[in-house]
Amino acid sequence: MPGPMPTLPFPRSGLPTPALVLDRAALARNIGRMAAFAAARGIALRPHAKTHKSAAIGRLQVAAGAAGLCCAKLGEAEALAAEGLSGLHLTSPVVAPGAVARLIALHRRSAGLSVVADHPDNVRALAAANAGGGPLAVLVDVDPGTHRTGVASAEAAVALAGEIAGAGTLRLAGVQYYCGSLQHIQGFAARLAAVAERTDYLRTVLAALRAAGHEIALVTGGGTGSFAIDAELGVLTELQVGSYVFLDREYGDCEPGAGDAPLFEPALFLDATVISANAAGMATVDAGLKALATDAGPPVVVAGAPAASRYLFMGDEHGAIVAEEGEPPALGARVTLQPGHCDPTVNLHDAYHLLDGETVVEIWPVTARGRST
Amino acid sequence: MPGPMPTLPFPRSGLPTPALVLDRAALARNIGRMAAFAAARGIALRPHAKTHKSAAIGRLQVAAGAAGLCCAKLGEAEALAAEGLSGLHLTSPVVAPGAVARLIALHRRSAGLSVVADHPDNVRALAAANAGGGPLAVLVDVDPGTHRTGVASAEAAVALAGEIAGAGTLRLAGVQYYCGSLQHIQGFAARLAAVAERTDYLRTVLAALRAAGHEIALVTGGGTGSFAIDAELGVLTELQVGSYVFLDREYGDCEPGAGDAPLFEPALFLDATVISANAAGMATVDAGLKALATDAGPPVVVAGAPAASRYLFMGDEHGAIVAEEGEPPALGARVTLQPGHCDPTVNLHDAYHLLDGETVVEIWPVTARGRST
Distances (CA, A) of B155 to B138, B149, B207: 18, 16, 11
Other beta carbons within 10 Å of B364: 17
- B1 confidence band (pLDDT: 50, 70, 90): very low
% of chain A residues with pLDDT over 70: 99
Q: How far is Cα B255 from Cα B192, in angstroms, rounded to an integer?
A: 11
- What's the start-to-end Cα distance of chain A, in Å? 22
- Structure confidence by residue, pLDDT tens digits, B128-161: 999 988 999 999 999 999 999 999 999 999 999 9
- Structure confidence by residue, pLDDT tens digits, A128-150: 999 988 999 999 999 999 999 99
In angstroms, the separation between the Cα of residue A275 and the nearest Cα of chain B is 6
Chain B neighbors of A318, CB-CB under 8 A: 92, 148-149
What's the pLDDT at B2? Answer: 44
What's the pLDDT at B78? Answer: 98
Q: How far is Cα A218 from Cα A116, in angstroms, rounded to an integer?
A: 12
What's the pLDDT at A256? Answer: 84
Average pLDDT, chain A: 96
Chain B neighbors of A95, CB-CB under 8 A: 273-275, 286, 331-332
Question: Which stretches of A147-242 are DSSP H helices?
Answer: 154-165, 188-211, 227-233
- Structure confidence by residue, pLDDT tens digits, A298-313: 999 999 999 989 999 9
Whether A72 and B317 lie within 8 Å, measured CB to CB: yes
Other beta carbons within 10 Å of A66: 24
Nearest CB among B78, B317, B344 relative to A372 is that of B317
- Structure confidence by residue, pLDDT tens digits, B173-216: 999 999 999 999 999 999 999 999 999 999 999 999 999 999 99
Chain A neighbors of B279, CB-CB under 8 A: 143, 147, 152
Q: How far is Cα A53 from Cα A31, in angstroms, rounded to an integer?
A: 15
Length of chain B: 373
Please provide residue A217's backbone torsions phi and psi, each rounded to the nearest 5 degrees: -85, -30
What's the pLDDT at B348? Answer: 98
Whether B98 and A373 lie within 8 Å, measured CB to CB: no
Please provide residue B199's backbone torsions phi and psi, each rounded to the nearest 5 degrees: -70, -30
- Structure confidence by residue, pLDDT tens digits, A264-286: 999 999 999 999 999 999 999 99
Give the lowest-confidence range in A317-321, B3-7, B224-228: B3-7
- Structure confidence by residue, pLDDT tens digits, A113-126: 999 999 999 999 99
Domain boundaries, chain B: 10-20+264-365, 24-252
A239, pLDDT greater than 90: yes
Whether B332 and A277 lie within 8 Å, measured CB to CB: no
Q: CA-nearest residue of chain A to B321?
A: A148
- Mean pLDDT across B115-120: 98
Q: CA-nearest residue of chain A to B145?
A: A279
Q: CA-nearest residue of chain B to A291?
A: B372
- A1 confidence band (pLDDT: 50, 70, 90): very low
Nearest CB among B4, B96, B276 relative to A102 is that of B4
Nearest CB among B3, B18, B96 relative to A273 is that of B96
Q: How far is Cα A323 from Cα A331, in angstroms, rounded to an integer?
A: 14
Q: How far is Cα B323 from Cα A126, in angstroms, rounded to an integer?
A: 28
Report which secondary-structure segment, H or E, holds B191.
Answer: helix B188-211
Q: Which CATH architecture has domain B10-20+264-365?
A: Beta Barrel (2.40)
3-state secondary structure (DSSP) of residue B322: strand
% of chain B residues with pLDDT over 90: 92
Q: CA-nearest residue of chain B to A16?
A: B373
Nearest CB among B4, B149, B287 relative to A284 is that of B149
- A319 confidence band (pLDDT: 50, 70, 90): very high
Whether B343 and A316 lie within 8 Å, measured CB to CB: yes
Chain B neighbors of A331, CB-CB under 8 A: 95, 119, 121-122
B4, pLDDT greater than 70: no
Cβ-contact A140, A209 below 8 angstroms = yes
- B251 confidence band (pLDDT: 50, 70, 90): confident
Nearest CB among A74, A150, A274 relative to B278 is that of A150
Is the pTM above the cut of 0.90? Answer: yes
Rg (CA), chain A: 22
What's the pLDDT at B17? Answer: 98
Q: CA-nearest residue of chain A to B289?
A: A344
Cβ-contact B348, A348 below 8 angstroms = yes
Q: Which residues on neighbouring strands pair with residue A355, listed in sequence order? A: A23, A360
- Structure confidence by residue, pLDDT tens digits, A220-237: 999 999 999 999 999 999
Chain B neighbors of A119, CB-CB under 8 A: 276-278, 331
Angle at A117 between CA A111 and CA A123, to 5 degrees: 90
Whether B278 and A152 lie within 8 Å, measured CB to CB: yes
Q: How far is Cα A364 from Cα A350, in angstroms, rounded to an integer?
A: 9
- Mean pLDDT across A23-36: 98
Rg (CA), chain B: 22
Q: CA-nearest residue of chain A to B151?
A: A278
Enumerate residues 6+ apart whose C-beta is below 8 A from B336. B21, B269, B270, B271, B272, B301, B302, B303, B304
- The number of C-beta contacts closer than 8 angstroms across A and B is 218
Cβ-contact A284, B148 below 8 angstroms = yes
Whether A278 and B316 lie within 8 Å, measured CB to CB: no
Q: How far is Cα B13 from Cα A98, in angstroms, rounded to an integer?
A: 10
A6, pLDDT greater than 90: no
Whether A18 and B373 lie within 8 Å, measured CB to CB: yes
Cis peptide before A9 (omega within 30 of 0): yes
Q: A24-252 domain in CATH 3.20.20.10?
A: yes
Q: Is the dihedral of CA B213, B157, B118, B345 positive or negative?
A: negative
In angstroms, the separation between the Cα of residue A40 and the nearest Cα of chain B is 31
Average pLDDT, chain B: 96
Report which secondary-structure segment, H or E, holds A343.
Answer: helix A342-346
- A3 confidence band (pLDDT: 50, 70, 90): low
Give the lowest-confidence range in A97-101, B236-240, B260-264: B260-264
Whether A370 and B347 lie within 8 Å, measured CB to CB: no
- Structure confidence by residue, pLDDT tens digits, B267-289: 999 999 999 999 999 999 999 99
